[in-house]
Amino acid sequence: MPLIWVLLAVAALAGIGYLAGRRRALASAGGDPRRLHSLPSYYGLNVALTVLTPALAVLAVWMLAQPALIDARIAGTIPDTAIAEAGDRSLVMSDVRRLAAGLDSAVAQGVLSRDEVAGLRAGATDIRAALGEAGVALGSDVKPEVLAAAQSYRAMARTGTIAMDALVLLTALAGLGAALWMTDADFRARNVVERGVLALLIVAALIAILTTIGIVLSMLFESAAFFRQYPWTEFFFGLTWSPNFRGNSDLGIIPLLWGTLYISFVALLVAVPIGLYAAIYLSEYASTRVRSVAKPLIEVLAGIPTIVYGLFALITVGPFLRDWIAQPLGLGNSGASVATAGLVMGIMLIPFVSSLSDDIINAVPQAMRDGSLGLGATQSETIRRVVFPAALPGIVGAILLAASRAIGETMIVVLGAGAAARLDLNPFEAMTTVTVKIVSQLTGDTDFNSPETLVAFALGLTLFVITLGLNVLALAIVRRYREQYE
Amino acid sequence: MARHAPHIADVKVSARDVNVFYGETHAIKDVDVDILDKTVTAFIGPSGCGKSTFLRCINRMNDTIDIARVTGEITLDGEDIYDRRVDPVQLRARVGMVFQKPNPFPKSIYENVAYGPRIHGLARNKAELDDIVEKALRRGAIWDEVKDRLGAPGTGLSGGQQQRLCIARAIATEPEVLLMDEPCSALDPIATDQVEELIHDLRRNYSVVIVTHSMQQAARVSQKTAFFHLGDLVEYDDTDTIFNNPKDSRTESYITGRIG
Amino acid sequence: MTDAIEGARPDAAGRPSLLAADRRTRARNAAERRFRLYGMIAVGLGLAALVVLLSTVAIKGAGAFRQTYVSLGVDLAEAKLDKTGNRDIEAIKKVSTFGYTPLIQEALVRKVDELGLRPDGMSDKDIGGIVSKDAAAQLRDRVIADPMLIGTRTRVDLLATGRIDGYFKGRVSLASAERDSNVTPDQIRLAQALAEAGVVVTRFNWGFVTRPDASDQRPEAAGLGVAILGSLYMMLIVLVLALPIGVAASIYLEEFAPRNRWTDLIEVNIANLAAVPSIVFGILGLAIFINFAGLPQSAPIVGGLVLTLMTLPTIIISTRASLKSVPPSIRDAALGVGASKMQSVFHHVLPLAAPGILTGTIIGLAQALGETAPLLLIGMVAFVNDYPAAPPEGFFDPASALPVQIYNWTQRADPAFVERASGAIIVLLLFLVAMNALAVILRRRFERRW
C-alpha cells in the first residue's frame, strides 16, 4: 500500500497508544492522578513514542536499504552476454530500473493491464511503443534479458514493499503492547520519556556529523572508482584538461586550479581593500546615522543570491569589460573572463570582508586607541599603526575565509568565467574553474561510470579538502586572536 | 573658593570658567584653577565628581567623545588650547597622559616607547631614537629591568612594570605636563609604591597632575591638591592645608570620611 | 622668564607655539584627510555596486511583466472542434492543437482584412505567423475547461510571438527583421498597424508568474509557475525537516551536552559545515539521495533534503544564540520549583527563545531559496513544463526551482530569455525581500530586553 497509508496507520496507532496509556495509568492508580509517579500525559507519551520510534526507524532503514539490496540481487542474475554488449553492468542495471519504473507507470495509468504486463515477451509485443504511450521514453528496443530482469525487479520490489509494510506495522503493534504492559502507577514514565527525548536530541545533533561523514564518504567512494580508471599522478599534475566522450581524455586539474585561484585572487583584490576601508570608515569615522544606513545596505549585497550575480556578470559586466577595456586594448573579445568573474565575485565578497573586519576591529579595546590618541597620534595613525597591527591576525583569518568562499563559488563562475580550461595570464581571457567543471561533468551526457563523469567527484574532493583546510586555519587564527583580548 | 595666588612664572596650565557638558548633563561647573610647573597637583573627590572629566579637558581627550562640550578657557603657557587654530595632535605631544589600566600596545617594549617620537618626528635617525627611548625608560625607572629585552612584547610585563612602561611611553615625547588618571588603582601595593616613587622623581622635569581616589596617596605624592565635589572645584590649596586645615566644610567632610 | 603677551611665540622648551600648526602636523593632517577619503570612497563603491546591480536587473527584467497580445474574436466552429456535437470531453480532447491553429489564423486574417491593413502580397500564413504557436494550446486548454464555448465567437487574448513582442519592447527593429528568419518586416509593419487599431496590445502579464516553462522557440509563453511551485515544495520540506532537527540539536548542544571531546567534535563539525561550498552538498545529494537511495532526479524531495542539510548549520547557529540569550535565572527559577531539566527547557527556555529561533529560520529559508548549484547537480537542468502534483506525491514529481529556472533561461539562445531571466530575478528578489522583512518585523515585535 502507498507510503502515506503506512505512515497514517502508525500515527493512528501512536494516537491510540497515547490515549490507552493514559487510561491504563490512571486506572492503575484508582483514578487519582496524584498517586501516579508522573503526570498522566507522560504515560501516554511513553506509549506513543514506543510505537513511533522503532516503527519509523525500521521504515527508514528498510526504504534506504531496499533499492540497494534488490539492485545487488538482480545484477547477479544478468547474463554476461548482455553486459558485454552494453559495456558495463551498471548500464544494463539502469536500463532495468528504467524499464521497471516504466512498466509500473504504464500499469498505474491504465495503458497496460496487469495481465498484459505479466504476459509480455520482448520480441512479440512492441514494448517500447506501448510504454511510449504511457509517457515513458526508452532509448532502444527491449532485450529479453533486460525484460526478465525488470520483471523480477518489479516482483522483488512489490514483495519487499509488502514485507516492509508488514514489519513496520508489526513493530508498531509490538511497541504498543510492550509499552502498555509496562504502564502502571509506579512506572517512572517521565524519566523514561525524558531519556527517550534526550536520545532523540542526541540523534539530531549527530546528524551534523553524519552529514560530514556522508560528504566525505560519497566523494571518497566515487573518487576511488575514478582513480581506478585514471592515474592520480596525471590528475593532480596534468597540465591539460580536455575530456573526450569517446575516451582517452586528458583530465589534469592544474588548469582548473589555476583558473580558480586566479579568479579568487582578483576577487580578493577587489573585496579586501574596499571591504577593509569600508569597515574602518564605518566603525571609526562615520556618525551613527551614516553607519545605521550604510552598514545594512552593504549587508544587502551579502543576501543577494549568487545566480543574480552570475546574471549580472553575464549580461552587464562581461559585455562592459569586453567593449570598453578588453577589445580596445586588444586583450580579448570574450564577455566571460577572469576579470568579469573576479570583479563580480569581489563585489559579492565585500560585505563578507567588511562585516568580519568590523567585528575584529571592534574587538580591539578602546584603551589601546586612547593610549595612542593620548600620545598625540591622529586617528588614521592610530588605526594604521596600532589598531590594524593588533587586529592583523583576525583580519588574515577573515581574508582566508573570504578566499575559501571564493574558491567554492559556482554560479558566478559558471555564468561569468566561461568553460575553457587554460593556463593563461591574461585576465580578459575566459578561464574555467574546478566548480564549473564539476557541474558540467555531472550534468553532461556521458555515462556515469566513465572517468569523464567520475572525475567530478575527485574534483569535488579536492575542493572540499582545500576549503576545509582554509576554514580550519582561518577559524584557528581568529580564535587565537580573540583569546588575546578576553 | 580659596585660591593660592601664584607667581605668574610658575603657572603652567591655567583654567578659567570651565564648564563641561555630556549631552544634557552638566558635569563640570565654573572651574578656575592654576596648575603650577614642576609640581605634583592632586585632584581628589568622591566617585563621579568630575575630576577625571576635568583632567581629560587639559589634553582635549574629551574631543573624542561626541556628546561632550567644553566651554571656558584653558591655557598652556598662556596659549588657549581650545583656540580654533590649535591642533589637538600637537597639544598632546606637550601634554602626556597615563591611564588607569596599563595599556601598552601589543608591540615590543622598544616600539611602545618609540611610538610617540616616531609619529612626531622627534628623531632624525635610529641612533637618536635609541637615545630617546633609553632616556625615557630611565626616567620611567624601568630601564634596568628591561634593557636586555627591549624586543620583548610590552604586554608580557607585570602590572606595575606595564604602568611604568606606559609612563615612559608618555614622557618619551618630552611633554611639559603629565596627566595621570588614577594610575595606581589597578596595581598591587608594591607596584603602587614603585609608581609613587617614580612620581616623586618626575616632578623634577614635568608638571604632574594626578587624579586619585586615595587621599593617602594624594597626601604622599602631591604638593598642591584640588578637591572636586559634584562638578564643582570646592577648594584648591597646598596639600598640607587641605588635609590639616581645610577651609570648606565639604572638604572637611570628605577628609574625615563623612562623605564619599 | 616670559611675559604674558598673547600671541604666537616659542615656549619654554623652545618648541613653536601651539597656535601655529607646524609643517609636519599639516602633512599628518593631510594624510588623515586622505585616509578618511579612501574610507568614504570604499563605502561609496560598495553602495554604487549595489545600486548598479539592482537597477540593471530591474531595467532588464521589467519588460518580462508586460507581454504583447493579439485580441481577437475567434469562431470556435463546432464542425472543426466537436464533430459529434455532444460536448463529450474525451472527443474534444482528441482534437489536437493542430485543429485550433487554423481557427486562429482565420480570425486574424478576417480582422486584418476588415481593417484593410493587409500589406501587399502578404499571405494568410504570414499573417497568422504573428500569433505565437503556443496560443493554440492555450485556446485548446480554455475550450477543454469550458466546452460550452464551442459554437460561439469568443473574444480571446492570444500571445504574440517572441519577435513581435520584442519589437514592441525595442529588441527587434525593421532592420534586424530583414536578417531574422523568425519574423519578416511585413509582419512587423502589420503588427504596428494592428497596435494602432487597438487589436494588438501590450499589457501586464500574469502568465509570467503562473505559466509553466516553454520551449526554446517560444520565450513569450515561458513562465515561472512550475519553478515557484517547486521552490515552494522545497521550502516546505526544509521547514518541516530542518527546523525540528536544528532546534533539537541546538537544545542538546546548548543545554544538555557535557563538555568533552565528542561535543567539541560536533561543534567543530557544525562550524565547518556552515562554510562548505554549496556544490559539495550537491555532490552529496547526487551520490547518496539519487544514486544510493534511488530517489527520482529533479524532484523537490531530493532538492529539499539537500537544502535541509545546507540550512541546518545556519539554523543551529542562530538557535544556539537565541538559547544563550535566555538568562540563567529563568532556568534556575524553574529548577527551583522542582521541574526537571528537560521540563525547564521545553516549558520555559524554548518559548522565550522562540522569536529568535523563528527569525533565524526565516533567514535560513531565504538563503536556501536562492541556492542554485546543488540543485543543478541533482538533475534540475532538465526542461520541466508540467506542474508537480499536490504533496506528498508531488514531492516526487520532477519540478524546477526559481534560481534553477533563471539559470536555464540564461543558457538559451533567444535574447528574449535574457528579459525573462531578469524578470525572474525580480520575482526571486521580491520573495527574499518579503522574507527578510518578515524576519526583521518579527524580531522587532518580539524582542525582549532582559
Chain B residues with at least one Cβ partner in C under 8 Å: 8-9, 76-79, 81, 83, 85-87, 89-91, 94, 119-121, 174, 176
Give me the pLDDT at residue A351, please. Answer: 94
Pairing between β-strand A250-251 and β-strand C153-159 as defined by DSSP bridges: unpaired
Compute the distance between CA of residue B255 and CA of residue B233 in angstroms, rounded to an integer. 15
Rounded Cα distance, C117 and C189, in Å:
10
CA C3 to chain B, closest CA, distance in angstroms equals 8
DSSP letter string, A139-175: SSPPPHHHHHHHHHHHHHHHHHHHHHHHHHHHHHHHH
Locate the chain C residue with the closest alpha carbon to B92: C18
Of A280, A311, A457, the CB nearest to C39: A280
Q: What's the angle, vertex CA C230, arms to CA C227 and CA C235, rounded to 5?
A: 125
User: Could you report the per-residue pLDDT of C286-316, keeping only the tens digit for each?
Assistant: 988 888 777 888 889 999 999 999 999 999 9
Which of C248, C277, C376 lies at the smallest CB-CB distance from A408? C277
Give me the pLDDT at residue A86, please: 61
Using left for φ > 0, alpha for ψ between -120 and 50, and beta otherwise, residue A194 falls in alpha
**CA-to-CA dists, residue A315 to A279, A340, C169, C415, angstroms:** 30, 11, 17, 11
Q: Which of C49, C288, C429 sits opposite A214 (nearest CB)?
A: C288
**What's the predicted TM-score (pTM) here?**
0.86
**Span C334-345, average pLDDT:** 90
Q: What are the Cα distances from residue A447, in Å, to A92, A247, A342?
A: 12, 11, 33
**ipTM of this complex prediction, to 2 decimal places:** 0.89
Alpha-carbon distances, residue B36 vs A438, B6, B33, B76 (angstroms)? 77, 8, 10, 11
Q: Name the 3-class secondary structure at A31.
A: coil
Cβ-based neighbours of B217, under 8 Å, separated by 6 or more: B42, B184, B192, B196
In angstroms, rounded to a whole number, what is the distance separating the alpha carbons of residues A368 and B106? 9
Q: Which three cell numbers stand for residue A252?
A: 589534469
Confidence band of C237 (pLDDT split at 50, 70, 90): very high
pLDDT at C280: 94
CB contact under 8 A, A376 and B90: yes
Among C32, C43, C261, the strongest candidate for a mutation testing the A interface, having the largest count of A CBs within 10 A, is C43
Pairing type for strands B177-181 and B95-98 reads parallel
> Could you write out the DSSP letters of every residue in C167-236?
HHHTS--HHHHHH-SS--HHHHHHHHHHHHTTSEEEEE-THHHHSPP--TT-GGG--SHHHHHHHHHHHH
Q: How far is CA A67 from the centre of its chain?
A: 22
CA-based end-to-end distance of chain C:
62
Residue C10 forms contact with B (CB below 8 Å): no
Q: pLDDT-derived band of residue C250, with 50, 70 and 90 as boundaries?
A: very high
pLDDT of B150 reads: 92
Q: What is the spatial distance between Cα B142 and Cα B162, in angstroms, rounded to a whole number? A: 9
Among C274, C277, C312, C264, residue whose Cα is nearest residue A466:
C277
Res B102: pLDDT: 92
pLDDT tens per residue, range C201-211: 888 888 888 88
DSSP C65: G
* Cα–Cα distance measured from residue C263 to residue C250, given in angstroms and rounded to the nearest whole number: 12
Which residues, other chains included, contact A444 with Cβ-Cβ below 8 Å and sequence gap of 6+? A452, A453
- Nine cell digits for residue C450: 532582559
Q: Which of A67, A208, A354 sits opposite C266 (nearest CB)?
A: A208
Cβ contacts of B130-133, under 8 Å, gap ≥ 24: B132/B172, B133/B172
> Is residue A334 within 8 Å of residue A321, measured between CB atoms?
no
- pLDDT band for position B115 (cuts 50, 70, 90): very high
- Is residue A259 classed as helix, strand or coil in its secondary structure? helix
Q: Of B59-68, B168-177, C51-60, which range is least confident?
A: B59-68
Residue B178 has which C-alpha cell? 603629565
pLDDT at A243: 83
Residues of C in contact with A222 (CB under 8 A): 287
- The string of pLDDT tens digits covering residues B178-210 is 999 999 998 899 889 889 999 988 888 899 999
Element (H, E) at A205: helix A189-229
Question: Which of A285, A370, A372, A375 to probe by mutation at the B interface, max B CB count within 10 Å?
Answer: A375
Region C126-145: what's the mean pLDDT?
Answer: 85
pLDDT in tens, B224-245: 999 999 999 999 999 999 999 9
pLDDT higher than 70, residue B48: yes
Distance from CA of B172 to the nearest CA of A (A): 9
Record: contact C15-B94, CB cut-off 8 A: yes
Look at the block and give the residue holding cell 563578507.
Answer: A352
Whether C23 and chain B come into contact, CB under 8 Å, resolves to no
C-alpha neighbours within 13 Å on the C-beta side of residue B234:
23
Residue of A nearest to C411 (CA): A415
State the residue for C-alpha cell 508586460: C66
- pLDDT of C115 > 90? The answer is no
- In SS3 terms, chain B reads as CCCCCCCHHHEEEEEEEEEEEECCEEEEEEEEEEEECCCEEEEECCCCCCHHHHHHHHCCHHHHCCCEEEEEEEEECCEECCCCCCCHHHHHHHEEEECCCCCCCCCEHHHHHHHHHHHHCCCCCHHHHHHHHHHHHHHCCCHHHHCCCCCCEHHHCCHHHHHHHHHHHHHCCCCCEEEEECCCCCCCHHHHHHHHHHHHHHCCCCEEEEECCCHHHHHHHCCEEEEEECCEEEEEEEHHHHHHCCCCHHHHHHHCCCCC
Q: Is the pLDDT of residue B21 over 90?
A: yes
Name residue A341's amino acid. A
What's the pLDDT at B8? 46
Mutate to test the interface with B, among C11, C18, C19, C23 (most CBs of B within 10 A): C18
Residue A64, judged by CB atoms within 10 A of its CB (0-12, 13-18, 19+), counts as middle
- For residue C253, the chain A residues in CB contact (below 8 A) are 205
CA dist., res. A72 & res. B141, Å (int): 84
Picking from A201, A36, A245, A285, the residue whose alpha carbon sits closest to that of residue C36 is A285
Non-local (6+) Cβ contacts of B29 within 8 A are B19, B231, B232
The reported pLDDT for the residue numbered C290 is 83
The answer to whether A134 touches A102, Cβ cutoff 8 Å, is yes
- What pLDDT is attached to residue C11? 47
CA distance A280 to C139: 61
Do the Cβ atoms of B170 and A375 come within 8 Å? Answer: yes
Q: Which of A372-376, B217-221, C20-24, C45-49 has the lowest mean pLDDT?
A: C20-24
Residue with cell 528574449: C416
* Shortest alpha-carbon distance between residue A271 and chain B (Å): 27
Q: What pLDDT is attached to residue A139? A: 64
Q: Among C252, C310, C381, C404, pick the best mutation site for testing chain A contact (most A Cβ within 10 A).
A: C252
pLDDT of res. C39:
94
Work out the burial of residue A479: count CB atoms within 10 Å of its CB; fewer than 13 is exposed, 13-18 middle, 19 or more buried.
exposed
Residue A124, pLDDT score: 55
On whether the CB atoms of residues C383 and C187 are closer than 8 A, the answer is no
- The residue in chain C having the minimum alpha-carbon distance to the alpha carbon of residue B205 is C13
Mean pLDDT of the C109-125 span: 83
Chain A CB contacts of C340 under 8 Å are 190, 194
Helices (H), C73-184: 78-81, 89-94, 97-115, 124-128, 134-145, 162-169, 174-179
Strand ranges inside A217-280, DSSP E:
241-242, 250-251
- Across the interface, whether the CB atoms of A401 and C432 are under 8 A apart is answered no
Q: Cβ of B119 and A377 within 8 Å?
A: yes
d(CA A123, CA C91): 34
* Whether A370 and B101 lie within 8 Å, measured CB to CB: no
Residue A276 is predicted with a pLDDT of 95
- Compute the mean pLDDT over every residue in chain C, rounded to the nearest whole number: 85
Q: What is the per-residue pLDDT for C3?
A: 40
Q: Is the pLDDT of residue C435 over 80?
A: yes
CB contact set of A254 (below 8 Å; sequence gap of 6+): A236, A237, A238, A239, A423
Tell whether the model's pLDDT for residue C10 goes beyond 50: no
Q: How many beta-carbon contacts under 8 Å exist across A and C? A: 255
The pLDDT assigned to B5 comes to: 54
pLDDT band with cut points at 50, 70 and 90 for residue B32: very high
pLDDT at residue B2 greater than cutoff 60: no
Is the CB of residue C366 less than 8 Å away from at least one CB of chain A? yes
Q: Which three cell numbers stand for residue B220?
A: 604622599
pLDDT in tens, C34-78: 999 999 999 999 999 999 999 999 998 888 888 888 888 888 887
Reading the block at residue B131, the C-alpha cell is 637615545
List per-residue pLDDT tens for chain A, 486 residues long: 577 788 888 888 888 888 888 888 888 888 887 888 888 888 888 888 888 888 888 888 888 788 778 878 887 777 777 666 666 666 677 777 777 777 777 777 666 677 776 666 665 566 777 676 666 666 666 777 777 788 888 888 888 888 888 888 888 888 888 888 888 777 888 888 899 899 999 999 888 888 888 889 888 988 998 888 888 888 888 888 888 877 778 888 999 999 999 999 999 999 999 999 999 999 999 888 999 999 989 989 999 999 999 999 999 999 999 998 888 888 888 888 999 999 999 999 999 999 989 988 988 999 999 999 999 999 999 999 999 999 998 899 999 999 999 999 999 999 999 888 888 888 898 999 999 999 998 887 777 778 888 899 999 999 999 999 999 999 888 888 776 665
Please list, in sequence order, all residues whose beta carbon lies within 8 angstroms of the beta carbon of residue C450, skipping any fewer than 6 positions away: C325, C327
8 A C-beta contact, residue B105 and residue A377: no
CB contact under 8 A, C2 and B9: yes
Give the CATH superfamily of C225-446: MetI-like (1.10.3720.10)
Measured distance CA(C350)–CA(C331) in Å, rounded:
11
A197: Cβ contacts below 8 Å, ≥ 6 apart: C342
C246 contacts in A (CB within 8 Å)?
204
